[in-house]
Homo-oligomer: A and B are copies of this chain.
Amino acid sequence: MALIVQKYGGTSVGSPDRIMNVARRAIAYRKKGHQVVVVVSAMSGETDRLINLAHQVTDSPDKRELDMIVSTGEQVSIALLAMAVKKLGLDAISLTGGQVGIVTDKAYSKARIEEIDTRIIRSHLREGRIVIVAGFQGVDPEGNITTLGRGGSDTTAVAVAAALKADECEIYTDVDGVYTADPRIVPEAKRVGKISFTEMLELANMGAKVLHSRSVIFAMKYNVKLSVRSSFDKIGSTVCTYCVKEDKGMERIVVTGVAAKNDEARVTVPALPDRPGVAAKLFSELAKKNINVNLIVQSSSQKGGRGVNDISFTVPKNELKDTVAVSDRITKQLSAGSVTVDKDISIVSIVGVGMRSHSGIAARMFNIMAEEKINLQMISTSEIRISAVIKSSEIQRAVRALHKGFELHKIGR
């Protein structure tokens, strides 16, 4: 008997029929003798409907109150799923984030899970129930309802799996695994049988939408066996991608995936004085505003006899307004040049643990881009990733060229 946590996204619970299907899958596992915890998102479209409702009242809804509203989406879907399981003859109980005891910090709309009380879930599992938990939400230590931000249901699932020491956390979505690239852009993209947490994390950060990056960090930290599966596959299908700890064989493959990210903008703060602490001041002010800076590139030069630094970085487009306000304030204090913004960018990335043991990968990537006559505006690398900022209009061409150039259609992992 295993303890399985399953997570279903908004599309998988988007209608009463689909909810019945989710119930059937959970029941099939339960009938095999497993203990089953199901984490669900709001029905697709529901979160947006609720946000729109708030925006009909005010342009800038209070964040606590917005979380109060938005969290109702999952509350509805857990109850519907519990009803569906009961209709099919098994016992189930739905629990909100607060009822489970998912305690978060107070960062409304992007809260972090601090603690999960497993006693409630365990006692219901012992009674033979399928336990249905609202994804995406928790309560802060004072009992205010918080949400984890978009994609947060993945995080809930992995965190619950970690807290329960579950045997596996299955993430059900509308694709049956992690692909070498988005199949809508690259039709010959292949599903990867297993991928390392670090690769998955880089892919998630750089635009692969299949898993939320915070959930991958959680899984890596607590070594949760994580799989990505399709809720449209038939019950019992073994097709999936496992996210696992890196093993020796993995480094043989240089590049595991190509990702594209289209929702960021580039901000350039030119000619900051080359003084220790200037960049730190800028980014700590941005962090205070909870702005997610992604790529950062700094270049030094001499200007009027002084050392100066141009700093470019990317942020989500929906945080651009706040970012520019903060950056403008700081450059004015330092009498630096003025802040410029480019919204017309995309980020293309290649990811693979094999980069650590293979050399010349960056050069090969730049050559492929050069052959396509795609200009690289910013380059940023990690140990297992190379990213480049390019013009938005060139992103699909870039992804296809890299997928072909690194022969990802031949991947065998």
Interface residue? A80 (CB, 8 A): yes
Q: Which residues of B contact A80 (CB under 8 A)?
A: 53-54, 57, 65, 69
CB-CB nearest in chain B for A67: B79
Alpha-carbon distance between A145 and B61 when the two chains are bound, in angstroms: 26
Q: Are B61 and A83 in contact (CB under 8 A)?
A: yes
Q: Which of B16, B54, B79 contacts A69 (CB 8 A)?
A: B79
Contact, CB under 8 Å: B19 / A57:
yes
Q: Tell me how many chains of this kind the complex includes.
A: 2
Contact with B along A57-97 (1 / 0, CB 8 A): 11001101110110110011011101110110000011010
Contacts of A257 in B (CB 8 A): none
Please determine whether A75 and B78 come into contact, CB atoms closer than 8 angstroms.
no
Among residues of B, the one whose C-beta sits closest to the C-beta of A77 is B69
The answer, among B57, B64, B84, for a CB contact under 8 Å with A57, is: B84
How many chain A residues sit at the interface, stated as a range, is 35 or more
Judge whether A83 and B54 touch: CB under 8 Å.
yes
Q: A143 within 8 Å of B by Cβ?
A: yes
Q: Judging by beta carbons under 8 Å apart, are B50 and A76 in contact? A: yes
Q: Contacts of A144 on B, CB cut-off 8 Å? A: 99
Asked if B57 contacts A68 (CB within 8 A), the reply is no
Chain B residue numbers with a CB within 8 Å of A66 are: 79, 83
User: Complex Cα distance A66/B82, Å?
Assistant: 10
| Contact between A65 and B50, CB atoms less than 8 A apart | no
Q: Does A138 contact B (CB under 8 A)?
A: no
A74 to B56, CA, bound (A): 17
Closest to A99 in B: B143
A69 and B76 contact, CB distance less than 8 A: yes
CB distance from A221 to the nearest CB of B (A): 29
Given contacts A84-B58, A87-B58, are A65 and B53 in contact (CB under 8 A)?
no
Quick check: is A352 within 8 A (CB to CB) of the other chain? no
Q: Which of A19, A53, A78 has the most CB of B within 10 A?
A: A53
With a cutoff of 8 Å between Cβ atoms, the chain B residues found around residue A87 in the complex are 57-58
Contacts of A61 in B (CB 8 A): 83
Can you list 14 pairs linking A and B with CB atoms under 8 Å apart?
A16-B53, A50-B76, A61-B83, A64-B93, A65-B79, A65-B86, A68-B79, A68-B96, A69-B75, A69-B76, A69-B79, A72-B75, A75-B75, A98-B98
A residues in contact (CB < 8 Å) with B:
16, 19-20, 50, 53-54, 56-58, 61-62, 64-66, 68-69, 71-72, 75-76, 78-80, 82-84, 86-87, 93-94, 96, 98-99, 143-145
Besides A57-B87, A62-B83, 19 more A-B contacts (Cβ < 8 Å) are: A16-B56, A19-B57, A20-B57, A53-B80, A54-B83, A58-B84, A58-B87, A62-B82, A65-B79, A65-B82, A65-B86, A66-B79, A68-B82, A68-B94, A68-B96, A69-B75, A69-B79, A71-B75, A98-B98
